[in-house]
Amino acid sequence: MSAIVNYSPELSAWIRHNLDRGCGVDDLVSSMVENKFEPTVARNLVEAFWRAHHEGLEPLESIEIETALDDYRYETPRLPAGTVIRTSDHEDPVLLRLEQPVTALLGNVLSDEECDQLIEMARPRLQPSTVVDLETGEKRLAEHRDNEGMFFKLNENPFIARLDRRISELMNCPIENGEGMQILRYGPKAKNTPHFGFLVPSNARNSESLPRSGQRISTLVIYLNDVKAGGETVFPEVGGLAISPKKGNGAYFEYSNSLCQMDPRSVHASAPVIEGEKWALPNGCRKGSSRRPDETAGVMCCRVFLSPGGSMGPRRRRRDGTAVPAAFSDCP
């Protein structure tokens, strides 16, 4: 299976800066792996930049790598067993379970009233998704992200504290390991390209928190409204499994093990919203405590996007903008 790695401008600048300083490929890869970066992705990224650095070429916004489905080692799921998961204030039926990847559809995670209250609290705080422009250092709208979002602080108020606790118990994840409740709104035609999610060590917040907190290991996406058409959570490597967004239900999946491997089968996407809008609450869990109680949640992600096919190797361009074929020799 081929996967396209779309890296952030911050990560690009970090690698280029250290190559300019004379750091070696192995040193940079080791640093990224120590910060819980997936080893195969780390090496492919650094080698792509190394070749561009020495050949007067500049990588595009992504590189293409091969991922082996059979290399991932499955471990005991973190999600509690049983047909019903009981928390301190709730009972949630398990409507669907998969072993590879570890995936579950949970019913009645939030009530209709709780979903409505979250939307109303989040609506005035929504911000368009942005990225940092590598040339100017200024924020700009993200062309590949079609949503608006915001974060709640941990225990921001009694209502949020109650939901933080429930989600923590559902995911079998200590509350301090959660990344916090993020609310996303997808308008008509909005989507999210097939991807994995993992944390970028070059970002200032992440470079401090990764050694303490570890990598992201699981996610629970709770649907806050019924979408008239579209907006499914799709798993392309599981026969195109599509989970329809039903108000109050949650899609749970794990994509990392104790070896810091990413499960290739966990690649997922949000299908385009065909009619209406989609409100969702994604909550990630990390291996260790992710933030202090007074911190606003939010982490810088580097997403690995699924490739529709093509040859192995970085997708590159010359500094004058002309294209370069993808296939080339490995670095010595």
| Residues facing 302 on adjacent strands | 198
Query: What does the block give as tokens for 59?
Result: 């990588």
With CA atoms as reference, report the closest residue to 216 among 201, 202, 204, 194.
201
Report pTM: 0.66
What pLDDT score was predicted for residue 310? 30
What pLDDT score was predicted for residue 306? 32
Q: What are phi and psi of 32, to 5 degrees?
A: -70, -40
What lies within 8 Å, CB to CB, of 166 at 6+ separation is 87, 88, 89, 90, 109
What pLDDT score was predicted for residue 297? 41
With CA atoms as reference, report the closest residue to 265 among 274, 273, 254.
254
Q: Are 222 and 249 in contact, with CB atoms under 8 Å apart?
A: yes
Q: In terms of DSSP H, where are the helices of the chain?
A: 9-20, 25-34, 39-55, 112-122, 158-170, 204-213
CATH 2.60.120.620 fits 71-303, yes or no: yes
Q: Is 39 exposed, middle or buried (0-12, 13-18, 19+ CB in 10 A)?
A: middle
What is the Cα–Cα distance from 312 to 264, expressed in whole angstroms? 16
Place of tokens 């035609």: 189
Query: What does the block give as tokens for 134?
Result: 């590598």
Three-state DSSP string of 156-194:
CCHHHHHHHHHHHHHCCCCHHHECCCEEEEECCCCCEEE
Helices (H) and strands (E) in the chain — how many of each? Answer: 6, 22
What is the Cα–Cα distance from 281 to 224, expressed in whole angstroms? 7
Greatest distance between any 2 Cα atoms in the chain: 60
Beta-carbon count within 10 A of 131 CB:
16
Q: Are 138 and 132 in contact, with CB atoms under 8 Å apart?
A: yes
| End-to-end C-alpha distance for the chain, whole angstroms | 25
Query: What does the block give as tokens for 113?
Result: 């009233």
Q: CATH 2.60.120.620 occupies which residues in the chain?
A: 71-303
**What does the pLDDT profile of the chain (332 residues) look like in tens digits?**
555 565 666 778 888 888 888 888 998 888 887 776 777 778 888 888 888 878 777 655 666 666 555 577 888 899 999 999 999 999 999 999 999 889 999 999 999 999 999 999 999 999 986 544 444 445 555 554 567 899 999 889 999 999 999 999 999 998 888 888 899 999 887 766 656 555 544 445 555 555 555 667 889 999 999 999 999 999 888 888 999 999 999 999 988 777 667 787 888 888 899 999 999 999 988 776 655 444 444 433 333 333 333 322 333 333 344 433 332 222 22
